[in-house]
Chain A
Amino acid sequence: MTLTNNPAVLILVEQDAGGFSLINLKVMGAVERLRHFVDLQVDLLVVGKDCAAVADKAARIPGVRQVLVADSDSCEQQLPEALAPWLAKLACDYAYVCVGATTFGKNLLPRVAALMDIQPVTDVVAIHSACEFSRPIYAGSALARMRTDQPIKLLSVRASAFADVALGESIAAVVPITPPPPQHISRFIDQQQVQAERPELASARVVVSGGRGLQAGENFQLLYKLADKLGAAVGASRAAVDAGFAPNDMQVGQTGKVVAPELYIAIGLSGAVQHLAGMRDSRVVVAINKDPDAPIFQAADYGLVADLFDAVPELIELL
């Protein structure tokens, strides 16, 4: 498989409802950072069913040596029970394996790692050298700077911490490889996609988030109205999810999604440390809360002490 003796990195390409996930451009951004410290060839791996279009798009990422494609009916759902043993063998030819720290990457990478007897470094937010990385712990209350000298380094990277690369015109070689054999211990039943009326949280330019201050699930309608005006995605604090106001796929925070939009508007949201961990890299943060002592104000560029049920309708009016 290895074309030269130079060390190489394998990026596990993620797919979403739209095919090629934009997260891959961030993962490549992290790999570019890694390449400041170590000369690396870059291979991409696309696994799935009828994934030629995804592979073609992946091939336009600049600086890629080749795109390996395993296309098979049995790979459609990319279940880790099939992928992990196969990947554990494939990964032996590489110095690094990288994937986004998404539910896809979090599900798959540790399973691969255990089969290789390797301790991965997950949720990487900073790369300091070829073997030193930082990752958040304690809900983002601290950054652990760690070193690993394992021969193969398995990393999941947090998209919000890295700049994305732009797709280019040059096309890397697309190389078909033998897909993993079918397995019989897990089976896909169904998938409910979130309706895509609004931009996705992870890639939205503007995010509007609500907390327990919304008081009830139906009051999130107010946030949806504001979001529609701004072309924004809607998020929620863990407290709001716990209270049943919003589904878990809207959760922003250490145990939910990590976002870094241009504009983050936190409404009726106290700003628990675990929430701040999920949005601290946003460029501009606005907080609207009636409690002047809410910790969210300490993280906000613009704070407005007001009752959200007055302020949000007025805001919608003025936009």
Chain B
Amino acid sequence: MKILVAIKRVVDPGVRVRPLTDGSGMDIATAKMSMNPFCEIAVEEAIRLKEQGLATEVVVVTIGSQSAQEQLRSALALGADRALHIVTDLPLEPLAIAKVLHVLVQQEQPQLVLLGKQSIDGDHNQTGQMLAALCGYPQGTFASRIECKGDEVWVTRELDGGLQTLALKLPAVVTTDLRLNQPRYPTMPNIMKARQKPLAVIPLADLGVELQARLQILALETPKLRQQGIRVKSVAELVDKLRQEAKVL
């Protein structure tokens, strides 16, 4: 079974970001960048499936600027076999990303496509579902458990009200949630080895996908901050304030 994992380069989750004062973008020009945490979970799961002998090849792909190669090399160091870099500086919407990935799925013919459930920059939570739609594949979103069973993959999904398990006919698209696994750290020898692994660089234009933006971002605004309140000195004072002042008890 071949697995395709789509990953994204994002601002490191530890970095606090804010909009530029003119609202034209985020103040991230010098921010530390990382692989999106949900994508790390997807890479980890693919590697585990390979280690269990269930996957034969793990291919990682990213769509982004030249510098996104750093994240592909990280994925190779974690254990992916080869990488595809679709190079573009355009900020693409989820629908456009899904269209590009659809072309790659047609070329690569993976049995399983793994993606993070959302990226921590755009926070859309759309790409996996859209890719599944375009491919006509079943989708297992927000996965906390993946089990391969013959020509199916069983996916346990994290829903608002509990857990749901679905059986999906392969090929399928699965998006990962937090509790699926705990991603490993790369080892030094594997980081060295990753430099030798194949990484194909493909200009976005070569794929011939229609990419026109459908949404226009008018401004990025700082959300209204909550007004800072007061410090209370004791539990008794807290209860009193909640009863008499806030009137919530």
A residues adjacent to B (C-beta < 8 A): 16-17, 79-81, 84, 102-104, 106-115, 117-123, 132, 134-150, 184-194, 200, 202, 206, 230, 238, 241-242, 247-249, 251, 254-255, 257, 262-263, 273-274, 280, 283-286, 297-306, 311, 314-315, 318-319
Contacts and interface: CB of A to CB of B under 8 A. Distances in A.
Contact of A141 (B16, B161, B242): B16
A268 to B, nearest CB: 15
B231 A303 contact: yes
Interface in B209-249: 213-223, 225-236, 238-239, 241-242, 246, 248-249
B139 A146 contact: no
Interface stretch (B51-59, B74-82, B122-130, B193-201): B122-130
B118 interface: yes
Interface of B: 11, 13, 16-19, 26, 38, 93-95, 98, 117-118, 120-127, 129-134, 136-139, 141-142, 144, 154, 157-169, 172, 177-179, 213-223, 225-236, 238-239, 241-242, 246, 248-249
A273 B214 contact: no
B133 to A, nearest CB: 4
A169 B122 CA distance: 41
B214 A118 contact: yes
Contacts of B246: 263, 284, 301-302
Contact of B125 (A122, A140, A230, A241): A122
A1 B160 CA distance: 32
Contact of A142 (B139, B216, B221, B229): B221
B226 A102 contact: no
Given A185-B168, A303-B229, A16 B161 contact: yes
Q: DSSP class of A's interface residues: helix, strand, loop or mixed?
A: mixed
A144 B217 contact: yes
A114 B161 contact: no
B32 to A, nearest CB: 14
9 smallest CB-CB distances across A and B, nearest first, come from A301-B229, A119-B214, A114-B130, A110-B129, A114-B133, A110-B126, A186-B138, A189-B165, A185-B138
Give the residue among A108, A111, A121, A305 with the most B Cβ atoms within 10 A. A111
Contacts of A298: 225-226, 228
Contact of A103 (B120, B142, B168): B142
A147 B138 CA distance: 31
Residue in B93, B133, B178 whose Cβ sees the most chain A Cβ within 10 Å: B133
B18 A148 contact: no
Contact of B162 (A249, A284, A302): A249
